């Protein structure tokens, strides 16, 4: 390489800030022309993410969220449309605006990139000791908090389960459902059995638990497990979002993670059991594409309810 030219003297804080930026962008591969060994740039992948998380969004909403120039975003959306990744429809509230949605092809691309990103993060985190991993995640959260301009709390992270998480899953299910729906301890016992079964029979290729966390505080969880009798079917289980985290879109993000993992794992469908009382969860399942296929009156956990079975064909 040619000799390095001397740089003007800078404040040490500026040097440290820029040094971190150089290190991190190299570490996660954002300098490559295609993100995650794909033909899409980091910006295009972020636009794809917004489309996946907000079904039927407007172009100006994406531009505002990502602080993108309108012309630049239009070129990205045109490329997506030419590649049959998105479809447009006239907004009901404003005929001058077009709602944007991912096509099945676009959804499949998002799921693939999302899983590649998860795998990249897992490889990086698995190379660290538990202490270093905890320090890293706290530091990342600290960076977001320090640089946030709107005073909002740092976003959550989704991670795989660690020792101690199952106790929290069981405890919070028991406490929240008793408080909000009056369910008795039989529900907590059910969750305990499901958690024990997950740990005992865990298959890393086909099963996963996600814990949502912010600043070291657990905010939610969800599980995807094999259907014991149907090899091509996965079960979505134990979706929970803490009251303090509701309204962040966390529930939908957790369900999306499950569905994305199920697709890459080769499953043909995802099924879940819930009850009619959990209407917010049912709304999320419906948004993601699940269909309500069966209902039956039941009395369990000390309360009357209607059992529901939902299915999603992949």
**Looking at the structure, do residues 98 and 165 belong to the same domain, yes or no?**
no
- 283 occurs within a structural domain: yes
**Looking at the structure, do residues 162 and 302 belong to the same domain, yes or no?**
yes
**Looking at the structure, do residues 194 and 283 belong to the same domain, yes or no?**
yes
CATH code (residue 92): 1.10.10.10
**Looking at the structure, do residues 30 and 162 belong to the same domain, yes or no?**
no
**Looking at the structure, do residues 174 and 295 belong to the same domain, yes or no?**
yes
CATH code (residue 155): 3.40.630.30
**Looking at the structure, do residues 170 and 234 belong to the same domain, yes or no?**
yes
| Residue 99 structural domain | 14-115
pLDDT tens per residue across all 314 residues of the chain: 455 555 555 567 888 888 888 888 887 777 666 777 888 888 898 899 888 887 788 888 898 888 889 889 999 999 999 999 999 888 777 767 788 999 999 989 988 888 888 888 888 888 888 788 878 877 877 777 777 666 555 578 888 999 999 999 999 999 999 999 999 999 999 999 999 999 999 998 899 999 999 878 999 999 999 998 888 999 999 999 999 898 888 999 999 999 999 988 899 999 999 999 999 999 999 999 999 999 999 999 999 999 999 999 99
Domain end, chosen from 94, 115, 136, is at 115
Distance CA 116, CA 35 (A): 10
- 90 occurs within a structural domain: yes
**Looking at the structure, do residues 95 and 203 belong to the same domain, yes or no?**
no
pTM: 0.65
- 141 occurs within a structural domain: no
| Total number of domains in the chain | 2
Kindly list the strands in the beta sheet with 303-313, ordered across the sheet, starting from the edge strand earlier in the chain: 157-160, 208-214, 217-226, 233-241, 269-275, 303-313, 291-300
């Amino acid at each position: 390489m040619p000799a390095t030219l001397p740089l003007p003297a800078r404040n040490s804080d500026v040097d440290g800030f820029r040094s971190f930026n150089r290190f991190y962008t190299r570490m996660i591969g954002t300098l490559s022309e295609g993100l995650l060994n794909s033909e899409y740039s980091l910006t295009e992948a972020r636009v794809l993410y917004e489309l996946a998380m907000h079904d039927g969004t407007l172009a100006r909403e994406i531009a505002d969220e990502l602080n993108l120039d309108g012309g630049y975003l239009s070129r990205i959306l045109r490329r997506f449309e030419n590649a049959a990744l998105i479809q447009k429809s006239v907004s009901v509230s404003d005929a001058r605006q077009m709602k944007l949605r991912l096509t099945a092809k676009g959804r499949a691309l998002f799921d693939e990139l999302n899983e590649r990103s998860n795998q990249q993060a897992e490889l990086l985190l698995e190379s660290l000791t538990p202490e270093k991993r905890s320090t890293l995640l706290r530091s990342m959260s600290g960076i977001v908090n320090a640089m946030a301009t709107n005073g909002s709390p740092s976003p959550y992270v989704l991670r795989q389960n660690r020792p101690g998480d199952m106790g929290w899953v069981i405890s919070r299910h028991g406490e929240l459902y008793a408080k909000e729906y009056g369910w008795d301890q039989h529900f907590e016992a059910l969750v305990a059995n499901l958690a024990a079964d997950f740990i005992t029979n865990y298959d890393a290729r086909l099963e996963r638990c996600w814990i949502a966390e912010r600043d070291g505080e657990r905010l939610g969880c969800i599980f995807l497990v094999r259907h014991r009798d149907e090899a091509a079917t996965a079960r979505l289980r134990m979706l929970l979002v803490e009251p303090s985290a509701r309204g962040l879109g966390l529930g939908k993000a957790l369900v999306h993670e499950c569905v994305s993992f199920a697709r890459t794992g080769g499953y043909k469908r995802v099924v879940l059991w819930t009850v009619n009382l959990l209407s917010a969860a049912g709304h999320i399942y419906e948004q993601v594409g699940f269909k309500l296929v069966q209902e039956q009156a039941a009395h369990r956990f000390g309360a009357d309810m209607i059992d529901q079975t939902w299915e999603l064909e992949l």
